[in-house]
């Protein structure tokens, strides 16, 4: 009986000893590294600045419409919607109502613009026709103006867009000025410009047909009954924009 008690006591003491031993021993678990969430640094988007220049006469300066309504300004605003808000667009306009090709040539010389523009537009000639200048002056000076415009876009001819001359015969004013003759003469001017552009692989945008809807759709004519309206300029831009995007992208 005494032996049984001793054995029971021995088993109890061993069990308690093991329990105490296990409590006093730290388990060696592998350390789990703590990772701090690292925010991925967003790559800073490259800031781009695009410089536009528009050369011309009343159709470029936007006679009788607001500054933001003329086609170069509408083109700039339309381009911005296709680019990042971080990209910026600037616009320089060398144009005045009544300017002929000679006037524009002299104005560019006086203004001495920079030569690092990203895009140039050229729309000129209506006042040569209106003022009955010899057509050969236009033939000579249009080519000179094209070359000057190309020099303003760092010599890259692909960055120039030539725009056709609107037909003011389809306005109330034009209707009192021998409209048939006006249209025939302007067609001669536009045909020359288009042929020159095609022969020299230059971008040419024909918008004359838009203005030839002026009588049936008076909303295309400004309140002076002569120049294009904001709506007409919007339609110009719809044709110019795809080419401008291709140039800048």
User: What residues have CB less than 8 Å from 224, skipping those under 6 apart?
Assistant: 63, 64, 173
CA-atom Rg of the chain in angstroms = 38
In tens, the pLDDT along 23-54 reads 444 445 455 555 455 444 455 667 899 999 99
The pLDDT tens digits of the residues spanning 156-192 come to: 999 999 999 999 999 999 999 999 999 999 999 999 9
Q: Which of 6-10, 55-59, 212-216 has the lowest mean pLDDT?
A: 6-10
Percentage, residues of the chain above pLDDT 90: 80
Average pLDDT, the chain: 89
Task: Report the C-alpha gap between 193 and 207 in whole angstroms.
Answer: 13
> For 180-207, what is the mean pLDDT?
98
Domain ranges of the chain: 49-248
Residue 236 pLDDT more than 90?
Answer: yes
CATH fold of the domain at 49-248:
Rossmann fold (3.40.50)
């Amino acid at each position: 009986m005494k032996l049984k008690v001793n054995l029971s006591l021995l088993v109890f003491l061993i069990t308690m000893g093991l329990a105490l031993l296990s409590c006093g021993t730290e388990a060696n678990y592998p350390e789990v590294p703590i990772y701090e969430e690292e925010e991925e640094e967003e790559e800073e988007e490259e800031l781009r600045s695009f410089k536009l220049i528009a050369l011309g006469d009343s159709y470029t300066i936007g006679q009788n419409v607001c500054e933001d309504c003329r086609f170069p300004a509408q083109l700039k605003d339309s381009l911005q919607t296709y680019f990042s808000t971080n990209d910026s667009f600037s616009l320089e306009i060398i144009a005045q109502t009544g300017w002929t090709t000679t006037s524009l040539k002299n104005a560019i010389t006086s203004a001495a613009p920079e030569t690092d523009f990203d895009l140039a537009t050229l729309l000129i000639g209506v006042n040569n026709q209106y003022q009955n200048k010899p057509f050969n002056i236009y033939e000579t000076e249009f080519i000179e103006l094209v070359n000057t415009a190309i020099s303003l876009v760092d010599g890259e001819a692909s960055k120039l867009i030539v725009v056709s001359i609107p037909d003011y015969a389809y306005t109330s004013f034009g209707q009192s000025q021998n409209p048939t003759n006006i249209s025939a003469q302007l067609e001669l001017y536009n045909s020359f410009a288009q042929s020159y552009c095609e022969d020299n692989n230059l971008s040419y945008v024909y918008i004359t047909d838009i203005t030839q809807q002026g009588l049936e759709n008076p909303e295309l004519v400004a309140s002076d009954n002569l120049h294009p309206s904001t709506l007409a300029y919007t339609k110009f831009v719809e044709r110019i924009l795809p080419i401008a995007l291709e140039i800048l992208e």
